Structure 1
Amino acid sequence: MVNKEKNFMSNKEQTNDQPSNFQDLAAVNQRLAVALAEQQRIAQLVIQKDLELYTLNDTLDRQVNQLKVLQLMVNEVRSLNNRDKALRLMARRLVQELQFSAVVVLLGPPPFTVGVKYSYHEIDTDELKRLPVIIKAFEKKIVYVDRLASAGPDEQALGKVLHATSFVALPLQCHQKFYGVFICALDDPYLRLSEHDREFLEIVSNAIAGTIESLDLEERQHYIDSLKTEFISIASHQLRTPLSAIKWILKMILNGDLGPLNAEQATYIDKTYKSNERMIELVNDLLDSSRIEEGRLEYTLAEVDARLLVKEILDQYRVLIDRQGVIVETNVDSGEPAMILADHDNLILALTNLIDNAIKFTPKKQTIKILVDHDRSFVRITVKDTGIGISAEDQQQLFTKFFRADNAKRMQTHGTGLGLFIANNIIRKHKGRIKVESEIGVGTTVTCWLPPAKGS
């Protein structure tokens, strides 16, 4: 009886405990649900941050790549002197390196001409040039479409011609001057031109406009220079014949072939003869410089002895040397031959200009040294005077056409400012180099290095 009561009491206690157990289970389930929800929230946050980080990394990679391509384009374009080549190079880089589907440059004003078209699709450029949005872009309004589906009808018409899902059309502007329109597009429905892409392409459009302006100015300058060179060449040819005729007539008069002259007449005729000689020298220098610039100065190379070239020039200048009263020291009358591969007449012309300057700017009773020495590496020709010298500032421009140093102008000596320009070009054509060292009031040393003939 006692056992039955105990069992009854035990069952009753268990029955009373059941609600408490259910409550505990419910609380546990609730806590588990909260924990699971928190885990899901954290997981979603991690996924979101991971996607943001991936997007950020992808954006940074694209931006870095864009900057690299921009730098590459700028460096490559610097070496070009042709606008069409520069535009093709830049368009190719944008399409191949940055995965744009199309790049078009229209040169304006309307009606446009196509500067360059680089695309994976066939683009009707005639239709493209007529589109209202292109006119709008040329009128300084940026046309930017990141999603074609949400664009207006005019923009959709441009997208259709470009076979693009997003694009930008930018005015080509440099120094308040407009050169046309730059268009860049993407054809991938899963990609779009971002704001950063638009900003980058604005930089590219400015670079293209700057390139067009720079190369157009350069081409225009080349054209003007060619006209000037052609004019100088024609004028010089027209002048040389009558000047030569005048020279020989004056020579005949001075020699008395046309009758005797009194002292005063002889003096005036002699001055006229010398002035005519200077005019002939000027004309010859102009002709030589124009031939150099046009690439018409012909070179026939043969082995010659540099010592004999210098000796030949000194023999021609003997009268002038005596008249100027300068002392010339040289080593060309002795020693071993200094053989070089050269065009005799052209190298004579170059060295004559150097020696003529030394004689012209050296005072009486002062010394000029003209030396030739050589080894297996080079033949060196040195012309060293003790004349007026050249300032450091003027030395920077010595090889420029028509340049004359300030102190040379003050001396009122005749000269064209073409001698060193001609000499430098001829020496370089012989694969040599020329160097000038000078100090005001001390003198000038001009050194030429020329490669020796093979086997010398």
Structure 2
Amino acid sequence: MVMELISFQKLFQMTKVINSQFEMSEILQVFVDAIAGEITQADLVGFFLKQPDGTFQGYKGNKLPVDITELLIDPREDEFVRDILRNQASDYISDTSIDLRLDQSKRQLLKIKSILGIPVIVENDVFGLVFVHDFGKPMNITQEQMEVTEAFVNMASVAIRNIRMFEQRQLLMEKQQLLLDATKALSESLSVKDVLNTFFHYMRKASGSKDIGIHLYNEKEHTIEPYQLSSENVTVDEWKVKHREVKLTIENDRLLYEVITQKKSAAIEDVYADPRPNHKAFVSFDIRSIMVFPLVAKGSVYGVVAIPSIGKPRKYEASILEFCQSISDATATALSNAQHTETLDHSVNERSIELQHANFKLEGLVRELEHLNELKSDFIATLSHELRTPITAVKGSVDILSKGILGGLNDSQKDLLDIASKSIERLLDQVNELLDFAKMENGKFELVYTEADFKEIIKESVHIVQSLINKKKLILVVESDAETDTIVSVDKQRILQILLNLLSNAIKFTPPMGVITIKTIFEETVLTVEVHDSGIGIPYEKQKNIFTKFYQANNQINGTGLGLAISKQLIELHGGRIWFESTEGQGSVFKFTLPKGRG
């Protein structure tokens, strides 16, 4: 009874020690030392860790005559171990010369006469195996010692499970943080180059692989083209050359077909045991295992990420697959946006260059047109001056003849001279218009302001055109809302010129017995003048060009086509504006405003 109490006290103390450790290696070392020194007093205690292929590799021992890490137990060659694994329970061989289940090579190497084997069960699975034995002699182990050892192994199993849970939580937190960091970094990557660098950095961490390739999917051709690579086993050039040799399509690679059409990832641990991949391509790259993830943006797959294991097979955990898929999903959107932005930027740059070239050409044309315009204005000014002198001389001669100073004239001669006089007046008006136009174009035109009674200007303009009004049997009406203060500051001769131009046009385009009305509206600071006619009106398609230089709405009427253009410029020089309203067949009304003070 005292022995049992001492054993349980030791068990309790050692359990406290185990549970105070946080490293798996430290726990297992305390574990084997305690069993050897405190519980069984055995010469040799070894812990063997289960491997992915089902074998058990030596991991920790107290003082074996050989390096325990060099020892490997294969259950296929050791019936004793197979029984422990099958029953998931302890087993004891009291005499290895009679019970031959133990691997004989291990028995001879370690001179095992008797042996206790205990499985370390963690989460209903064998995590490792503990073997207790003496060297070259049978063990003198009691039932109580075996039970205490089993209890201690169970306590150690709990500690190992807790450590594994802690490590898994830590790993999960690290993955979550890595995913957050990757997502943030990708969202801040604006160029394709930055996105790719960020992707490869985080995918290497997530996958544990140094070979990662991005391929783009050509939906029209159904081909998978190499895009970017991060690898220590193959260069980018070699990678692209081999791809050209194989030319992957979704028709010749069912794995890629499923990934792209079903938009889901895939992992294959043995590519040659799976009929879906293109084995020719995998042989070319010496690929043994592979993970493939779709790149999905805006509901469509535009590429895939391939993470192969080159030269050796690899097992894939579901958590790794999910983690890498999350990185791929975040990358897909960032890469698609960056590619679209750079394509758009490239198009904008191309259009900008084209526009710049067009602007250069346009600037050249503008300079050329400006030069031609200057030549035209100089030509018109020179020609007008040259014409005015002989026209004036001819006019004077006609006036002398008309007055009979050189002798009497018969009626026919008087009629001819009258026609000649009117033609000369018209020609002189056109020359004056050309001169005014040339001055305005060259910026040499100046207004001469005077105080004038606008009613007198109206009266003078009516007097000048009265003979034309009478000859065509038109009715001219003058309306004014002003009773006092009709004084304005204007260039009187130029305003008279504008009125005569508008009245002349109204007379030209108004049929006999028609009505022409001049209406003036005086406000506090602005004067508005309207010239109405009941003429033929202006066709709608020609209205936009009415104030254009050298334009005539009716080509059958003689003139320079400058009258309205010059009138517009004169009104604007005064600080006013001019516009019109016209309906074909119903007449027109031209309106202009003038500041009552100096413009």
TM range, smaller chain: 0.5 to 0.7
Confirm or deny: 8 A CA contact 1:327 1:365 kept in the other structure: yes
Structure 1 pair 49/263, CA: closer, same or farther in 2 (3 Å)? Answer: same
1:5 and 1:441 map into 2 onto residues whose CA distance is 133
Match of 1:370 among 488, 508, 518: 518
- Cα distance in 1 for partners of 2:380, 2:551 equals 17
Take 2:456 and 2:364, find their aligned partners in 1: how far apart are those partners?
48
Does residue 436 (structure 1) correspond to residue 580 (structure 2)? The answer is yes
Deviation at 1:47, TM superposition (A): 0.9
> Given the superposition, is the C-alpha separation of residues 270 and 217 from structure 1 closer, same or farther in structure 2, using an over 3 Å criterion?
same
How far off is 1:53 after superposition?
1.2
**Are residue 266 (structure 1) and residue 400 (structure 2) matched?**
no
The answer to whether the 8 A contact 1:310-1:332 is kept is no
Q: Distance in 2 between matches of 1:349 and 1:237?
A: 20
- Give the letter aligned to residue 22 of structure 1: A
Counterparts of 1:238 and 1:4, CA distance in 2: 145
Cα deviation per residue 1:166-219 (whole Å; 9 max; x = unaligned)?
Answer: xxxxxxxxxxxxxxxxxxxxxxxxxxx977655543343233223323333223
1:21 to 155, 168, 179: 155
2:365 is aligned to 217
The answer to whether the 8 Å contact 1:307/1:337 transfers is no
C-alpha spacing 1:355/1:196, structure 2 compared with 1 (3 Å) = closer
Shift of 1:284: 1.0
Q: 2: CA distance between counterparts of 1:382 and 1:422?
A: 18
Shift in Å, 1:308: 0.9
Query: After superposition, where does 1:144-163 map in structure 2 within 5 Å?
Result: none
Aligned partner letter, 1:431: G
**Separation of aligned partners in 2, 1:256 and 1:390:** 45
Q: 1:420 to 1:364 in 2, by over 3 A?
A: same
The alignment partner of 1:319 has SS state of helix
- Indicate the SS of the match to 1:402: coil
| Whole-angstrom CA distance in 2 between matches of 1:200 and 1:234 | 49
How far did residue 46 of structure 1 move? 1.9
1:448 match: 592
Letter in 2 for 1:29: I
CA contact 2:525–2:595 (8 Å) conserved in 1:
yes
Q: TM-score, normalised by structure 2?
A: 0.48
- 2:387 is matched with which residue? 239
Q: Which amino acid aligns with 2:547?
A: F
Q: Relative to structure 1, is the Cα distance of residues 290 and 8 closer, same or farther in structure 2, using a 3 angstrom cutoff?
A: closer
1:8 and 1:436 mapped to 2: Cα distance?
Answer: 121
State the secondary structure of the residue aligned to 2:501: helix
Identity %: 29
- Distance in 1 (CA, whole Å) between partners of 2:534 and 2:347 is 62
TM-score (norm 1): 0.62
Distance 1:6 1:238 in 2: 141
Give the letter for the 2:355 counterpart. Answer: A
Residue identity matched to 1:257: I
Structure 2 residue 459 is the aligned partner of structure 1 residue 307:
no
Residue from 250, 269, 280 that aligns with 2:428: 280
Quote the offset at 1:328 in angstroms. 1.9
Which residue is 1:388 aligned to?
Answer: 536
Whether 2:195 is the aligned partner of 1:47: answer: no
Partner in structure 1 of residue 490 of structure 2: 342
Counterpart in 2 of 1:379?
527
1:324 counterpart residue number: 472
Distance 1:24 1:234 in 2: 114
Q: How does 1:27-176 map to 2 (within 5 A)?
A: 27-56=161-190
Distance in 2, Cα, partners of 1:443 & 1:18: 118
Q: Give the letter aligned to residue 28 of structure 1.
A: N
| Contact 1:311 1:332 survives alignment (8 Å) | no
CA distance in 2, matches of 1:359, 1:16: 128
Query: Residues 476 and 517 of structure 2 are in contact (CA less than 8 Å); yes or no, is this contact kept in structure 1?
Result: yes
Cα distance in 1 for partners of 2:7, 2:391 equals 148
Structure with greater contact order relative to length (CA < 8 Å, sep ≥ 6): 1
CA contact (8 A) 2:482 2:521 kept: no
Cα distance in structure 1, aligned partners of 2:169 and 2:491: 95
3-state secondary structure, aligned to 2:367: helix
Q: For residues 6 and 54 of structure 1, do their structure 2 counterparts lie closer, same or farther at Cα, with a shift above 3 Å needed?
A: closer
Please report how far the alpha carbon of residue 415 of structure 1 lies from its aligned counterpart in structure 2 after TM superposition: 2.1
Displacement, 1:424?
A: 1.1
Taking a change above 3 Å as real, the CA distance of residues 55 and 235 of structure 1, as seen in their structure-2 partners, is same
Shift of 1:58: 12
Amino acid at match of 1:39: M
Query: What is the alpha-carbon root mean square deviation over aligned residues?
Result: 3.1
Which residue identity is paired with 2:166?
L
Partners of 1:452 and 1:205 in 2: CA distance:
51
C-alpha distance in 1 between matches for 2:494 and 2:512: 30
CA distance in 2, matches of 1:218, 1:404: 25
How much has 1:294 moved relative to structure 2?
Answer: 1.7
d(CA) in 2 for partners of 1:343 and 1:204? 49
Matching of residue 414 in structure 1 with residue 558 in structure 2: yes
Pairwise CA distance, 1:8: 7.5
The 8 Å contact of residues 326 and 366 in structure 1, kept in 2 or not, is answered as yes
Offset at 1:346? 1.6
SS, match of residue 179 in structure 2: helix
Contact 1:395/1:436 (CA < 8 Å) preserved in 2? Answer: no
Which of residues 396, 413, 421 in structure 2 aligns to 1:248?
A: 396
Cα displacement (A) at 1:417? 1.4
More moved, 227-236 vs 24-33: 24-33
1:294 paired to 2:294: no
Mapped contact 1:311–1:333 kept (Cα < 8 A):
no
Pairwise CA distance, 1:342: 0.7
Closer/same/farther in 2, CA of residues 364 and 9 from structure 1, 3 Å limit: closer
> What is the CA distance between 1:52 and its match in structure 2?
0.5
Q: CA 1:416–1:264 in 2, change beyond 3 Å: closer, same or farther? A: same
Contact 1:332–1:371, Cα closer than 8 Å, also in 2:
yes
| Contact 2:465–2:500 (CA under 8 A) maintained in structure 1 | no
> How far off its partner does 1:7 sit?
4.5
List alignment gaps of at least 5 residues for structure 2. 9-143, 194-340
| Counterpart Cα distance in 1 of 2:428 and 2:479 | 31
Q: Residue 402 of structure 1: CA displacement?
A: 1.4
SS of equivalent to 1:318:
helix
Distance in structure 2 (CA, Å) of the matches to 1:376 and 1:240: 42
Distance 1:370 1:5, change over 3 A: closer
Corresponding residue SS for 1:396: helix
User: Structure 1 residues 269 and 25, CA, compared in 2 at 3 Å: closer, same or farther?
Assistant: same
Contact 2:480/2:521, CA 8 A, preserved across alignment: no
Distance 1:431 1:197 in 2: 47
Closer, same or farther in 2 for the Cα pair 1:35/1:4, shift >3 Å?
closer
Whole-Å separation in 1 of the counterparts to 2:345 and 2:402: 82
Q: By how many angstroms is 1:238 displaced? A: 0.6
